A and B are shown apart, each in its own frame.
Chain A
């Protein structure tokens, strides 16, 4: 994000640049903000673009997908995701908080492995079913 500043009568106007991800056009958006409040979005070609620019500036959020260990299943890692997007600045922290977790097969899509991760109000949930298999065939990871 590049920032240029200018002055107006009311306060400091900061211009932030974002690349819209809504469609192949990839509009280069400019968001003007005064004291953190968006006063103008430029460079968009559609309503979605304008909304995206505003959201990216005020509260950018990202969905997070990662994996955790699973014991007693055919694979050693089971995929998980956040039940909702988390603040962009917390993505790495949430990933690290989840990385060492271990669950035991069977698991079902939607099972919660960690509720309200790092007080974000968002749960970490399993994204696939994995059945339990015979212990001799299981590939338990070192985290389990």
Chain B
């Protein structure tokens, strides 16, 4: 499946240029082609397209995009086959260094050297990167054996190395849970998963199928407070935390291990989009985007984890298709939909994407709640729309569809998005 655009095929001008060929970039390429863009270039820094999907060998992908549960590599390959069918140019092993406000894209690769390509529209689809030990400042030694869960996943699933023999996992995000199971199946002893919060960060399905199935203990409201070992990790100190998340050192204990995996969250890999001067949202760490996923810089679109960290690749692809369609439409001369309504995170909502919408368009709003509500919940869009769901948890992104008919009688310029228990929802 390794396909790289031959340098001689690389044009110096494209309708739509997409940075990143993961689940977002590939879907954006399809969206752009379907909306009339003739020349689309997909660029990725790895030697093949697919992004992080290639190391996500577990199933759980495709339920929304393909109506079928498949693994990450299968999801990547299906998308990539469609990308090739749609005559998209693909340039891998290439790094985008800079994008100027007039959409000149400077890229570098062993095959083409340093070159500049002009684009009528650009889609930023660089995804996210993992938070590391530095982000949470765990005190102690600096031995080998401390790494992010995603790095361990790459070592095991692509390179065929085990990171150690006895592992502790900090953080109950999905990657950490998946790796607890993966290491167990490969014969590594997983001593336990420690989670700072009083509830798991990952999907319930993963708590059950990755931990409970293998009797791996999950310690909630507990964290790693010390790392010990000269050359190699020898043990960690763990401690329960109080309601303010302060470790209770009197109740700390030590756990022997040679490996500590960190699954402590993802951050949008947004340097490139920040660098071009797009306005950023401090709540998501990604750019501010319109209903067509266009940033505040005209012609620069963004989608997927670079905008906000999703929990399903399927959501990423659906959102990126919107971005690709927007970019394709703009590149072929369509009028930009007027963004007449701002969306604001309200009660129990951490952020909302997109940040603005057009009242004459159909949109899917994505947001995350701050606190779990274990029962009937009302999702409110100002006074114009109420939608009831069974429950909401921070680990699972919430989506809400908005159609023009809901906004026909609305004449304001901003709508708040709330997620409240049904009994508190008073009209």
Binding site for B on A (CB under 8 A): 19-21, 23-26, 45, 62-67, 69, 74-77, 79, 81, 88, 91-92, 95-96, 99, 109, 127-131, 139, 141, 143
Contact = CB atoms under 8 A, between A and B. Distances in A.
Contacts of B392: 24
Given A69-B160, A128-B77, A129-B1, A25 B391 contact: yes
Nearest to B158: A75
B74 A76 contact: no
A90 to B, nearest CB: 12
Nearest to A67: B157
A128 B160 contact: no
Contacts of B231: none
A106 to B, nearest CB: 10
A127 B74 contact: yes
A91 B396 CA distance: 27
Nearest to A60: B213
Size class of the contact patch on chain B: 35 or more
Interface string B173-211: 000000000001111000000000000000011011100
Contacts of B274: none
Nearest to B76: A128
20 contacts: A19-B208, A21-B205, A23-B391, A26-B391, A65-B71, A66-B57, A69-B160, A74-B2, A75-B159, A77-B156, A77-B157, A77-B158, A79-B71, A79-B157, A81-B71, A99-B186, A127-B57, A127-B70, A128-B54, A131-B1
A13 B391 CA distance: 31
Given A24-B396, A92-B185, A45 B209 contact: no
Contacts of A131: 1-2
A62 B213 contact: yes
5 closest pairs, A vs B, by CB?
A128-B73, A79-B57, A76-B160, A21-B205, A95-B185
Contacts of B71: 65, 79, 81, 127
Contacts of A77: 156-160
Nearest to B205: A21
Given A19-B204, A23-B390, A131-B1, A76 B77 contact: no
B365 interface: no
B10 interface: no
Interface in B353-394: 374, 390-393
B47 interface: yes
Report which residue of B48, B160, B204, B214 has the largest number of chain A beta carbons within 10 angstroms of its beta carbon: B160
Contacts of B158: 75-77
A69 B159 CA distance: 10
Given A74-B2, A141-B160, 10 more contacts: A21-B204, A21-B205, A23-B390, A62-B209, A66-B185, A67-B157, A79-B73, A96-B187, A109-B77, A128-B73
Nearest to B391: A25
Contacts of B160: 67, 69, 76-77, 141, 143
Contacts of B374: 25-26
B212 interface: yes
A24 to B, nearest CB: 5
Contacts of A45: 390
Given A77-B160, A99-B186, A65 B59 contact: yes
